[in-house]
Amino acid sequence: MINFELDDDQKLIRETVAAFAAEQIRPAARAADESGVIPPELVAKGHELGLVRGAIPEAYGGYGDARSAVTGAIVMEELAWGDLAIAVHLLAPRLLVTPLIEAGGAPLQQRWLPPLAQDQFVAATAALNEPRFDFDPAAMKTVARREGQDFVLSGVKCCVPLAQESSALLVYASGGSEGFDAVEGFVIGRETPGLEISPREENMGLKGVATYTLTLNDCRVDRSARLGGESGLNFTRLLSESRVAIAAMAVGVARAAFEYARDYARERKAFGVPIATKQAIAFMLAEMAIEIDAARLLVWEAAARLDKGENGLKESYQARNYAAQAALTVTDNAVQVLGGHGYIREHPVEMWLRNARGFAVLEGLATV
């Protein structure tokens, strides 16, 4: 039956993560953007929230929490509200954990999950995006060629968070033909021969988190590294989970910018009155609020489908595209509401605009 209310657990989770985002993440956001460094103490504290360990089965040292895309979306929104780069850093290991839980098969899970379930944050990641304007997950240029018992991976991946720091990386590649069914995943070690990791990428936004370009020069991997073993993986679902996560983060960034602009507009005076009392500003804020709520509902709708076991390809695609556009529009409007001050790095809105531009561009940056 239709219901728009979070359950009690979700409310508690949201409160907890929101408090962490406000008290720990937000104050560190600007410094991370400027310096490119996220303090290890912050990462350690974030890890204590169970963002990575939560979903790992107890058998492998995790908490074995029930997984829910809706709950995940709520967590993502709050973390990204704090700061997108820090959120992506904290969540990067999930890029490996979620596919392993969904499709890994016991041997791969046995090997890679226990290290990630530890008390300390251990980096892990996945490589999906490719450095092309028309990157399409259904038509990847990175390919996996079968050679006897092995697979040989070749291609270039980009925007891979924490690749240099990770001991294990999940690489998505096309098994040959086009389409989502042809996509394969391989969990490879950092030291795999032929794997080349670039110096840190320099991007417009997301500057706090280290991302890298990976070049796979005929990397030979054992077939045991193949996600899902002989049966392969449900890539459509993994992609949808990733898109829902990105969409939820877009909502978080948009909300951060909206709230900042709203509060600024109530304080800032022009012509003797707060600028928020002028319709030109008030209507912008109203439209921002509407778009944020609309985007969030689309995210939740897609997430609810995933929780019912559907692949949610269309819905998560809709949510991602809509939320990405909403985030861009809202952050741009936030800069506009602040006027010249919005353009100055003393205020965070310019950073949120730079970060928001990434949502339509980046695939596979996070997952629920």
Residue 6 vs 18, nearer CB to another protein: 6
Span from 28-36, 47-55, 299-307, 332-340 in contact with another protein (CB under 8 A): 299-307
321 binds another protein (CB under 8 A): yes
Question: Which residue, 180, 191, 182, is CA-closest to 221?
Answer: 191
User: In this chain, which of 108, 253, 276, 334 binds another protein, going by CB under 8 A?
Assistant: 276
- The two three-digit tokens of residue 284, written as one number: 């912008």
Map the footprint of another protein across residues 71-130, applying CB under 8 A: none
278 CB-contact burial (10 Å; exposed 0-12 / middle 13-18 / buried 19+):
middle
- Separation of alpha carbons 52 and 367, rounded Å: 11
Strand-pair partners of 187: 170
Query: Degrees (nearest 5) of the Cα angle 277, 281, 285?
Result: 105
Contact 86, 25 (CB under 8 A): yes
Binding to another protein (CB under 8 A) within 176-235 occurs at: 180
Q: Which of 28, 265, 330, 365 binds another protein (CB under 8 A)?
A: 265
**CA distance readout (Å), 306 to 75, 215, 236:** 16, 32, 11
Sole binder of another protein in the list 111, 141, 154, 317 (CB under 8 A): 317
User: Between 191 and 267, whose beta carbon lies closer to another protein?
Assistant: 267
When the beta carbons of 13 and 225 are compared against another protein, the nearer one is: 13
DSSP 128-185: ---SSTT--GGG-S-EEEEETTEEEEEEEEEEEETTTT-SEEEEEEE-SSSSGGGEEE
Question: Whole-number minimum distance, CB 123 to another protein, in Å?
Answer: 28
Angle at 362 between CA 360 and CA 366, to 5 degrees: 115
Look up tokens 């012509």; give the residue.
271
The size of the interface with another protein (CB under 8 A), counted in residues, is 49
Among 18, 43, 101, 360, binds another protein (CB under 8 A): 360
Closest among 233, 256, 296, 358 to 70, alpha carbons compared: 296
Q: Is 170 in the site for another protein (CB under 8 A)?
A: no
The answer to whether 271 contacts another protein (rule: CB under 8 A) is no
Alpha-carbon gap, residue 162 to 160, rounded angstroms: 7
- Which one of 266, 268, 341, 354 is in contact with another protein (CB under 8 A)? 266
Q: Which of 30, 297, 336, 354 binds another protein (CB under 8 A)?
A: 297
Under the binding rule (CB under 8 A), the answer on residue 1 touching another protein is yes
The dihedrals phi and psi of 301, each to the nearest 5 degrees, come to -65, -45
Report the candidate in 126, 89, 156 with the shortest Cα–Cα distance to residue 235.
Answer: 126
Closer Cβ to another protein, 197 or 313, answer by number: 313
Q: Indicate the residue type of 252.
A: G
* 131 is a contact residue toward another protein (CB under 8 A): no
By CB under 8 A, name the one of 70, 75, 96, 216 that touches another protein: 70
Shortest CB 34 distance to another protein, Å: 31
Residue 301 binding another protein, by CB under 8 A: yes
> Which stretch in 19-27, 206-214, 293-301, 340-348 sits in contact with another protein by CB under 8 A?
293-301
Would you tell me which residues interact with another protein (CB under 8 A)? 1-7, 10, 70, 133-139, 180, 236, 239, 262, 265-266, 276-277, 279, 282-283, 285-287, 289-290, 293-295, 297-298, 300-301, 303-304, 308, 313-314, 317-318, 321-322, 360
